Amino acid sequence: METTPNLDALSREGMLFGIAVVQAPWTKPSVASFFTSTYASTHGCIKEQPGSFLTSSLITIAEVLEAHGYYTLAVNSNPHLKPGTSGWDQGFHLMKHTDTKPGNPERLTDEAIALLRGISALLEKNAEKRFFLYLFYFDPHYPFEPAHKRFTLEDYGPLGGLEGKRRCIVNYDNEIVDTDAAVGRLLAELKELGLYEESLIIVTADHGESLHEHGEANHGLKLYDSTLRIPLIIKGVGQGRVAGQVRAIDVMPTVLDVAGIRPDGALREQMKGISLLPFARKQAERTGLRAISETQMRECNQRCIRTEEYKLMQIFEHGVEHLYDLRADAREEEDLSEEHPELVARMTAELEAWAGSIPQVEPVMEDRQIDEALLEELRAIGYLR
Ligand SMILES: [Zn+2]
C-alpha cells in the first residue's frame, strides 16, 4: 500500500533516521520536549488539563531563533497547543490556528502557503533575515476520520482482529495519504518560491498510534514502540540513512548546529539532547544513544529506557517492570524481566541515575481561564475522558 510518495521522495533527498523515539507518547509533553530538548520531568507540561503549562523559565527553540534574527511563524491544528493553552507559543512572532476536522491537512497547507508567500516578500526586502516555520498537521491522528477514502477494507485482504480495529487501520492509512499529499503541495510551493534548496526541512511527529496493539486504541497511556517511534526525515544534512537510535530531544540541538548557533551556558545546561550531524555524516549504523520516555496521563505513571537492543518499562501504577528484546521481539509481546534480572538491574540503575541527573519539577499548573469550547475540542479528539 503506497501511502507516502511525497515523504519518500523527501527522504531520498535528505537523511532518514531509522529509529527515532519521542520522550512522551502524546502531544503536549512530547512537543514540549522537542521545543526545549528536555524531558517531561523537567518541563512539567504533562497533564491533560489546559492549565498544565510549559514553564516560561525554559528556553524554547523559537525563542533562540527569534533572538538570532529569524522570523518565527507557526500554523498549528492541535487544541493542546493553542496560544494561551500550554505555553508553547513562547518566541513566535506569529501563530495561526486551524481545526482538527476531516480535511485539516489541506487547510493547514493553505494557511502555510499564505504565510510562505508573505515571508518570501519580506525576505526579499530584508536579506539579513531568515525564517523558522513550524507546522503542526493534526492528521494522521485519533479519531481517524479521513476526508477522502482512497482505501477501503476490501483493499487489505485479511487483517485479522475486530472490525473496529480493521477500520482504524484503513482510516489511519487514508489520513496518512491525505497528509502526505498536503505536505507534497507545501514542498512544491517552497520550490516555486525559491526557498526549498537552502531550507533545512524536518518532517517528524510527536507520537504514534497504537491501533489496538497492546490493548490501546490510540496513544498516551503506554510506552510501547507503536506510540513512541516516529518518522524523522531531515533534508539539509546530507543524503542517506542513519539506522541507529535517535530521540526527539536531539532535534533542537541539531537545528541550532545547522544554523551555526552556539548555545550559551544556560541553554547548554538545559538541553539534554545532542546534535545529530556527526551521525548523519557517518551514516551511523548505531548511535549508542539511550532514549528515555515518560507518561503520566490520567492514572498512569510510567517510564522506560530504550537502547538499540532492549527496552525496560517501569509501570509504577501496577508496580511491575517489563523487559523486551527489541531485535528478537519487535512487537514487544514477550516480557523477559524474569529471565534477565541482571539486565533489569542495570537498566533500572541507569534510569535512576538519569532521574537524579536532571532537574525535576512538579507538573506546572497555571490558573487560566479555560473556555468550554476548548474543553469540548479536547474531548472530541480523545482527551479528558
Ligand atoms: Zn496527539
Domain ranges of the chain: 5-380
User: How far apart are the CA of 99 and the centre of ligand 1, in A?
Assistant: 13
For residues 120-127, average pLDDT: 88
User: How far apart are the CA of 204 and the centre of ligand 1, in A?
Assistant: 13
User: How far apart are the CA of 258 and the centre of ligand 1, in A?
Assistant: 28
Cβ distance 306 to 228 under 8 Å? yes
Note the pLDDT of residue 259.
97
User: How far apart are the CA of 92 and the centre of ligand 1, in A?
Assistant: 21
Handedness of CA 182, 184, 187, 188 (dihedral sign): negative
Note the pLDDT of residue 295.
96
Question: Which burial class, exposed, middle or buried, applies to 30 when counting CB atoms under 10 A from its CB (0-12, 13-18, 19+)?
Answer: buried
How would residue 381 be classed by pLDDT, with cut points 50, 70 and 90?
confident
For residues 287-316, average pLDDT: 96
For residues 259-276, average pLDDT: 97
% pLDDT > 70, the chain: 99
pLDDT at 293 over 90: yes
User: How far apart are the CA of 334 and the centre of ligand 1, in A?
Assistant: 27
Note the pLDDT of residue 357.
97
How would residue 260 be classed by pLDDT, with cut points 50, 70 and 90?
very high
User: How far apart are the CA of 28 and the centre of ligand 1, in A?
Assistant: 7
User: How far apart are the CA of 25 and the centre of ligand 1, in A?
Assistant: 8
User: How far apart are the CA of 77 and the centre of ligand 1, in A?
Assistant: 10
H helix intervals, the chain: 5-13, 27-36, 40-43, 61-67, 104-125, 163-192, 225-228, 251-258, 265-270, 277-282, 341-357, 372-380
Compute the mean pLDDT over every residue in the chain, rounded to the nearest whole number.
Answer: 93
Instruction: Specify the higher pLDDT residue, 177 or 154.
Output: 177
User: How far apart are the CA of 69 and the centre of ligand 1, in A?
Assistant: 30
User: How far apart are the CA of 293 and the centre of ligand 1, in A?
Assistant: 15
C-alpha distances (whole Å) from 129 to each of 59, 69, 120, 132 are 21, 6, 10, 10
For residues 65-72, average pLDDT: 96
Strand-strand pairing, 310-315 and 130-136: unpaired
User: How far apart are the CA of 265 and the centre of ligand 1, in A?
Assistant: 32
Rounded to two decimals, what is the model's pTM?
Answer: 0.95
C-alpha distances (whole Å) from 282 to each of 130, 200, 255 are 28, 19, 18
Note the pLDDT of residue 79.
87
Q: What is the pLDDT of residues 178-204, one digit of tens each?
A: 999 999 999 999 999 999 999 999 999
Hey, what's the cell of 27?
Answer: 502531544
User: How far apart are the CA of 61 and the centre of ligand 1, in A?
Assistant: 20
Q: Under 8 Å CB-to-CB from 195, ≥6 apart: which residues? A: 116, 120
CA angle 83, 86, 87 (to 5 degrees): 70
User: How far apart are the CA of 26 and the centre of ligand 1, in A?
Assistant: 5
Q: Under 8 Å CB-to-CB from 116, ≥6 apart: which residues? A: 133, 186, 189, 190, 193, 195
How would residue 238 be classed by pLDDT, with cut points 50, 70 and 90?
very high
For residues 86-91, average pLDDT: 87
User: How far apart are the CA of 141 and the centre of ligand 1, in A?
Assistant: 6
Cβ distance 42 to 269 under 8 Å? no
User: How far apart are the CA of 206 and the centre of ligand 1, in A?
Assistant: 7
User: How far apart are the CA of 380 and the centre of ligand 1, in A?
Assistant: 12
User: How far apart are the CA of 144 and the centre of ligand 1, in A?
Assistant: 12
CATH class name, domain 5-380: alpha beta
Cβ distance 21 to 248 under 8 Å? yes
CA 313 to chain centre: 20
Helix or strand (DSSP H, E) at 86: none
